[in-house]
A = this chain, B = another copy of it.
Amino acid sequence: MTQVPSEPLVDTLCIVGPGLIGSSVLRAARADGLIARRTIATDIDPAVCARVRELDIADEVDTDPSKAVADADVVMLCVPVGAIAPVARALYPHLKPGAIMTDTGSVKRSVLADLDGALPPGAAYVPAHPMAGTEHSGPDAGFATLFVDRWCLLTPRADTPPDATARIVALWERLGARTRIMDPEHHDNVCAMVSHLPHLIAFTICGTADQLAEDTRGEVLDYAASGFRDFTRVAASDPVMWRDIFLHNREALLAMLDRFRADADAMAEAIRHGDADRIVETIRRGREIRRSLIENRQA
């Protein structure tokens, strides 16, 4: 704790998929010499590789992922959730002994279930999820301070070597994040409520607005500053990323959506029957949570 680090935490760090998240890790490593001595970036998309070269945010760029990972001590997969397990399994044979593979995916349980495969001797896989992002994507969207004071949740399995987990924890702390270790299922439930359901609702209500009669729709857009715009900000996010999140966290998300629908139905009933007390009670409860808890805990 009190020891000042004098050499980089990781020797060679390879980022697979240098989009918003991956390029932010690269930028932070550039800014802080104690994260990695050397960084390598790789992507299936040659245009992304070319852009990372132009931006000059990685020490090396290799368009061939299997070559890019060969030398790496830590390989971080920053690809969409649906690509994590296939990319991990394809790259396992190319890892060097003792390497640690990790990811940044927003869903954990179903991805972990698909990860089985032959890791090289002494190699380990440590699942992680930085709770930080924006509604933008791609290598231009990243910035070095993205993870500062944000949470990174880690969901190691029972058989994950504790020292591998400790190294990834240290890496995220060096990136500025606060870390917490939890069960993958719990992770997915929490994220379904905190992030996936709000996104689903925001995408949906944009679609609802789009189907209104032409004149009404035009005015919804004119007056969007009155709540609608803030409410739908998250709906600007990447379709592929969110498709993968919705499909891979299907059960937890649908369970939360069911609860929400039941609560919305109860509110609709109260409004339909003019049950003023129940409406005020619901509003007051929502407001309490919003105020006392959220504002106090996250001021």
* Residues of chain A having any CB pair with chain B under 8 Å: 131-133, 150-151, 186, 189-191, 193-195, 197-212, 215-216, 219-237, 239-240, 242-243, 246-247, 250, 253-254, 256-257, 259-261, 263-264, 267-268, 271-272, 274, 276, 279-280, 282-287, 289-291, 293-294, 297-298
- A201 vs B297: C-alpha distance when bound (angstroms): 23
Question: With A206-B285, A228-B194 known to touch, is A201 a contact of B290 (CB < 8 Å)?
Answer: no
Interface of A is mostly: helix
- A191 vs B151: C-alpha distance when bound (angstroms): 37
Check if B231 sits within 8 Å of A216, measured CB to CB.
no
Question: With A264-B257, A271-B253, A294-B224 known to touch, is A230 a contact of B232 (CB < 8 Å)?
Answer: no
Check if A283 sits within 8 Å of B242, measured CB to CB.
yes
A247 interface neighbour in B194, B211, B223, B279, Cβ under 8 Å = B279
Count the copies: 2
Check if A234 sits within 8 Å of B225, measured CB to CB.
no
A286 interface neighbour in B151, B235, B287, Cβ under 8 Å = B235
Q: List 22 A-B contacts (CB under 8 A).
A: A150-B225, A194-B220, A194-B224, A198-B228, A202-B286, A204-B267, A205-B263, A206-B286, A206-B287, A206-B289, A208-B256, A211-B259, A224-B297, A230-B230, A231-B231, A231-B234, A235-B286, A239-B284, A246-B271, A247-B274, A250-B274, A254-B268
- A200 vs B264: C-alpha distance when bound (angstroms): 8
- Chain B residue numbers with a CB within 8 Å of A272 are 250, 254
Check if B271 sits within 8 Å of A208, measured CB to CB.
no
Check if A282 sits within 8 Å of B194, measured CB to CB.
no
A151 interface neighbour in B201, B223, B229, B239, Cβ under 8 Å = B223
- Chain B residue numbers with a CB within 8 Å of A199 are 227
- Chain B residue numbers with a CB within 8 Å of A216 are 186, 189-190, 193
Check if B294 sits within 8 Å of A223, measured CB to CB.
no
- Chain B residue numbers with a CB within 8 Å of A290 are 206, 232-233, 235-236
Check if B283 sits within 8 Å of A221, measured CB to CB.
no
- A23 vs B46: C-alpha distance when bound (angstroms): 59
Question: With A234-B227, A271-B250 known to touch, is A197 a contact of B205 (CB < 8 Å)?
Answer: yes
- Chain B residue numbers with a CB within 8 Å of A236 are 287, 290-291
Question: With A250-B271, A264-B257, A298-B224 known to touch, is A219 a contact of B231 (CB < 8 Å)?
Answer: no
Of chain B, the residue at the smallest CB distance from A203 is B286
Q: Shortest beta-carbon distance, A229 to chain B, in Å?
A: 6
- A65 vs B102: C-alpha distance when bound (angstroms): 68
Q: Shortest beta-carbon distance, A80 to chain B, in Å?
A: 12
